[in-house]
Structure 1
Amino acid sequence: MTNEFTFKRILLAVVVLLASWLRPCHAEPLAITPFYTFNQSPLVQIYGLPAAESAVVQPAGKAWTLLSVDVANSYLKRETARESLLLDGEGERITLALRYGVAQRGELGMDLPLIAYNGGIFDGFIEDWHEFFGLPQGQRPDAPKGQLRFQYEKDGRQRLDMERDGLHIGDLRFSGAWQLYHGGGANPAALALRTSLKLPTGSSSRLTGSGSTDLALWLTGSSDYAFPGQWGHATVFAAAGGLAMTDGQVLKEQHKNLAGFGTVGLGWSPSDSFALKAQLSGHSAFFRASAFSELSSGAMQVIFGGTVAFSPRTTLDIALSEDVTVGASPDVALHLGLGHQF
């Protein structure tokens, strides 16, 4: 309870601080990039699934930093004669990311995540959200409120049982990128090859790490279109790639070593200080040999929100995600991403 209360105070302080900085920004056109987030399921976010990221790498000698917060609420209960699965709880992932431009077209980076689990504060909000939009509630209204329990049993053997809250370091990631194409201008057509290496620095027993070493490789591209008059500009973006994973410690007998992933989205910036964005992100299954599609099938999420520019170099992303493939990703997740370029 203390860790949960502390995290809420930190999150509130960050929001208040950001609000005090908020002011209109009139400068060069606002760059529209994918939200820096991915599936926050407790059984997926521990692996090396990457965010799509920008199709434009950092210029040589320039650095970009990001402080992101992802809050994801999950409730899933399934049972057959051979298997039972319960995912009930809330996870918070705080990521400090750094990207630095090297040479003429290269970029190096690092992500340091902190991961917390608790019983959650958004159970009631999510039920109201689903009711307002006419979305299926499933078994959520009858579930205990404020419970933390991630449990999986198969053939009479407990393969996952985690109910300890707390805030801990996750798996460290190193990244690199190479600019394959850049059309020039403020918001050009661009294509980049990106890669990331995730190391097992977190704890698999606490679900802050997978116990595996993961390598991701993907292409990310974007194209920008200016509108006449005062209508601003729009950007379409997409990414696709693959993820190779060593044998981890979470559901190790059913874990798959290869996965594919992709993102497609668009954004519209009517002014230099604001943009609306939406994207569809998905990936193939991370597990096999289960009757539950939430484990043995892929996942897809729709993520929507916007970007606010506090200054020409400082932006804030605010987004919500909803699971398109029900159960394979959290019901609702909140994403905040504060970025600054040096």
Structure 2
Amino acid sequence: MTSRLFSLTRELSIRTMLFTVVVLVAFAGRPCRAEPLAITPFHTFNQSPLVQIYGLPAAESAVVQPSGKGWTLVAVDVANSYLKRETTREALLLDGEGERITLALRYGVGRSLELGVDVPFVAYNGGIFDGFIEDWHEFFGLPQGQRPNAPKGQLRFAYAKDGRQRLEMDQAGLGIGDLRFTGGWQLYHDGGENPVALALRGSLKAPTGSSSRLTGSGSTDLALWLTGSSDYALPGKWGHAAVFAAAGGLAMSDGQVLKEQRRNLVGFGTLGSGWSPADSFALKAQLSGHSAFYRDSEFSELNSGGMQLIFGGTVALSSRTTLDIALSEDVIVGASPDVALHLGLGHQF
């Protein structure tokens, strides 16, 4: 039953990706909003199997939901990883594909207060995008590493140190991840049509997933961060543009995944911008990074931070419904998946 549900989920993800391309072409240029399209960060983060299990948050909007108003999101993140490193003391292999489906809700409960929850479902498999990623890297002249010689369709996440196996996961399947409870407080909003805004956000992650299946970490994590944005009306018919940024910290209790080497404090941040030439779509790009989650390793992929370039756009399907489409590439090689695809269907109510 679990394998069948997993197969259906993977097929749905592929169909959704193809559908979004058609939607982007069909709706770009169609006037379907009575107000400018909000330019906000992509609701995603590092999807490495050794990172996404913790409470690392997305930057989120600098504008919290108004009182009595809400926002829902269905996000799909597909990340393909291949990393093989060996020394006399350590061996690390990350070979597989992960799919994370997040159901999110944000609701304004006061003049400046927003509450929310994220319910994630995490699946792993041997990967169907291995060939696509090799072609992608070849087309853009990006380094292939050991990918061309690696077995296709394999699922195995493993780490050994000093003769002891500290991580081993090779079972495909789908399971619930760690629940996140979120909150946001509007610190500043200038009230303009092209606003300057600042919000304090936080999230609390509960250990509801499975650490042995890498759908959770076994730890309770608390994140606090500031997120700000500034929007600018452009002259003539050039639409509007925005810049956004976020910075904060993540504190984690002792979990079950490489717990002897994991750090309890991690810093993170995002810097990005976007341009909306029409009310129906916007182009966006952002850099998202974090400090190291692990220590006491000779491998920089564990012992150093990660950074991703995430680029794509938002298309308005209606006055209240938007679709984010983005692709990410690892800037610091090995600390995050080679390529990850993000889809986010959001709706205001």
Q: Does 1:234 align with 2:241?
A: yes
What is the CA distance between 1:186 and its match in structure 2? 3.0
| CA distance 1:187–1:167, shift in 2 (3 Å) | farther
What is the CA distance between 1:11 and its match in structure 2? 2.2
What is the CA distance between 1:17 and its match in structure 2? 6.8
Match of 1:125 in 2: 132
CA deviation vs aligned residue, 1:194-229 (integer Å, no higher than 9, x gap): 000000000000000000000000000000011111
Match of 2:109 in 1: 102
Q: Does 1:287 align with 2:294?
A: yes
Q: Could you tell me which of 36, 54, 57 is aligned with 1:47?
A: 54
> Unaligned stretches of 5+ in structure 1?
none
What is the CA distance between 1:270 and its match in structure 2? 0.1
Q: Distance in 1 between matches of 2:199 and 2:23?
A: 35
Letter in 2 for 1:217: L
Q: Distance in 2 between matches of 1:89 and 1:12?
A: 16
Letter in 1 for 2:268: F
2:217/2:257 contact within 8 Å kept: yes
SS in 1 for 2:160: strand
Q: Does 1:157 align with 2:150?
A: no
Match of 1:10 in 2: 12
What is the CA distance between 1:13 and its match in structure 2? 5.0
SS in 1 for 2:214: coil
SS in 1 for 2:260: coil
CA deviation vs aligned residue, 1:92-116 (integer Å, no higher than 9, x gap): 0000000000110000000000000
Q: Distance in 1 between matches of 2:16 and 2:78?
A: 14
Letter in 1 for 2:227: T
Q: Distance in 2 between matches of 1:114 and 1:320?
A: 20
Q: Does 1:274 align with 2:281?
A: yes
How many residues are treated as equivalent by the alignment? 342
Q: Distance in 2 between matches of 1:283 and 1:330?
A: 14
CA deviation vs aligned residue, 1:275-309 (integer Å, no higher than 9, x gap): 00000000000000000000010000000000000
SS in 2 for 1:311: coil
Q: Does 1:90 align with 2:97?
A: yes
What is the CA distance between 1:4 and its match in structure 2? 4.4
1:317/1:337 contact within 8 Å kept: yes
* 1:202-221 matches, cutoff 5 A: 202-221=209-228
Match of 2:70 in 1: 63
Match of 1:138 in 2: 145
Q: What TM-score comes out, normalization by structure 1 length?
A: 0.98
> Unaligned stretches of 5+ in structure 2?
none
Match of 2:82 in 1: 75
SS in 1 for 2:135: helix
Match of 1:305 in 2: 312
What is the CA distance between 1:312 and its match in structure 2? 1.5
Letter in 2 for 1:146: G
Q: What TM-score comes out, normalization by structure 2 length?
A: 0.96
Q: Distance in 2 between matches of 1:15 and 1:256?
A: 35
Q: Does 1:320 align with 2:322?
A: no
Q: CA RMSD in A?
A: 1.4
Q: Distance in 2 between matches of 1:135 and 1:14?
A: 27
Aligned residues: percent identity? Answer: 78
What is the CA distance between 1:187 and its match in structure 2? 3.3
Q: Distance in 1 between matches of 2:299 and 2:194?
A: 43
Q: Does 1:330 align with 2:337?
A: yes
1:121/1:146 contact within 8 Å kept: yes
Q: Could you tell me which of 261, 265, 275 is aligned with 2:268?
A: 261
2:37/2:282 contact within 8 Å kept: yes
1:31/1:187 contact within 8 Å kept: no
Q: Distance in 1 between matches of 2:194 and 2:219?
A: 37
SS in 2 for 1:261: strand
CA deviation vs aligned residue, 1:30-83 (integer Å, no higher than 9, x gap): 000000000000000000000000000000000100000000000000000000
Q: Distance in 2 between matches of 1:13 and 1:297?
A: 36
Match of 1:174 in 2: 181
| CA distance 1:26–1:107, shift in 2 (3 Å) | closer
Q: Could you tell me which of 185, 206, 209 is aligned with 1:199?
A: 206
2:17/2:343 contact within 8 Å kept: no
